[in-house]
Amino acid sequence: MYISRRKFLERGSLAVAASWVGVGKLFGQADVIAQMRASGATAKIAVVPARRGVSVLMGSGGNIAVLPGKDGKLLVDSGFSTSKTQITEALNGLGAEPPKTLIDTHWHFDHTDGNEWMHAARATIVAHENTKKRLSTPQVIAAFHASFPPSPAGAIPTVVFSDSDSLQTNGERIELKHYAPAHTDTDISVHFVNADVLHVGDTWFNGFYPFIDYSTGGNIDGMIAATKLNLGRAGATTVIIPGHGPIGDRMVLAEYASMLQAVREKVAALKQQGKSVEAVVAEKPTGAFDARWGGGFMNGEGFTRLVYQGV
Ligand SMILES: [Zn+2]
């Protein structure tokens, strides 16, 4: 019951590959990553207004937030490098100023692959110090049997922080905060304070089971904690940008939080009975949730395996 190859290519996201755990042999891991990157070349970019000048570019890897203005554009995440042409066109549609600042929400390549060209276009790259470390050194994502070489020098963040940071640009105050390990150990949130738009990176997959990257520090309990933190920060009218999926709000995020908690509890109870991961998968602990959350990036089996690993 894995998603189709066609759907996988259409979605063009790192998370999609998680559904291929176990069928990686069909394509080989290097091929999966190469296919995802290649999908960026033909990706169509949708520009969705969030609030007060903040827009979201959707279609190439993770969601890219943009705040244009006289100081130069501020961007959050850079998508696939192969989408440079379409992303440039979308950015030009938002104003003539060049990119000035690029913030990476975490190290994953569907969020940082465009770093090098955006830096060449004059953007300074800001990220958590762990993102710099991981982009500077070889990385492995075991769930995909995938290896990543160090990124080129121009793609490495040059402004880093450990706990929090803030910056002021285009009449907006932007606050950056590191999460305790959740999706990875590099995750940060980006809050446009005046607009009250909160980009939460891959701590939230809106409408889909999330991928959790245990290889680089992620775990299910961290995802739940990060989601609770996001709920605590968001007000009733906060616009929340997920790493993947449509823009949402506190109510939709609360539904995701309940799903994470419920699946975690079910899987933990079964594991505590001494059941193997295969036995737990066979019991379909996500059964009640698959119709709502299992239709896109990752199916119930893949998510069950990720939760099992962390409880
Ligand atoms: Zn990610």
pLDDT digits (tens, 9 = 90+) for 153-183: 999 999 999 999 999 999 999 999 999 999 9
| Mean pLDDT taken over the chain | 91
- pLDDT tens, 73-122? 999 999 999 999 999 999 999 999 999 999 999 999 999 999 999 999 99
- pLDDT tens, 124-160? 999 999 999 999 999 999 888 889 999 999 999 999 9
- pLDDT tens, 188-216? 999 999 999 999 999 999 999 999 999 99
Predicted model pTM:
0.91
- CA atoms within a 13 Å half-sphere pointing along the CA-CB vector of 65: 31
Residues near ligand 1 ion, CB 5 Å cutoff: 108, 202
Q: How far apart are the first and last CA of the chain?
A: 24
* pLDDT score at 99: 97
Give me the sign of the Cα torsion angle 42, 295, 217, 226: positive
Over residues 285-293, the mean pLDDT reads: 96
Backbone angles phi, psi at 288, to 5 degrees: -70, -15
- pLDDT tens, 220-257? 999 999 999 999 999 999 999 999 999 999 999 999 99
Query: In Å, what is the CA distance from 108 to each residue of 26, 62, 73, 140?
Result: 23, 9, 22, 11
Over residues 27-51, the mean pLDDT reads: 84
Find residue 228's DSSP bridge partners: none
- pLDDT of residue 307 exceeding 60: yes
Ligand 1 geometric centre to CA of 303 (Å): 15
Pairing of strands 197-199, 188-192: antiparallel
Query: In Å, what is the CA distance from 42 to each residue of 18, 36, 37, 83?
Result: 22, 11, 10, 7
Write out the H or E segment, with its range, that includes residue 160. strand 159-161
Ligand 1 geometric centre to CA of 26 (Å): 23
* pLDDT score at 29: 54
* pLDDT score at 16: 41
* pLDDT score at 19: 38
Ligand 1 geometric centre to CA of 265 (Å): 24
* C-alpha triplet 108, 137, 244: angle, nearest 5°: 5
Q: How confident is the model at residue 23 (pLDDT cuts 50, 70, 90)?
A: very low
Pairing of strands 146-148, 139-141: antiparallel
Tokens encoding 3: 């998603």
Ligand 1 geometric centre to CA of 270 (Å): 28
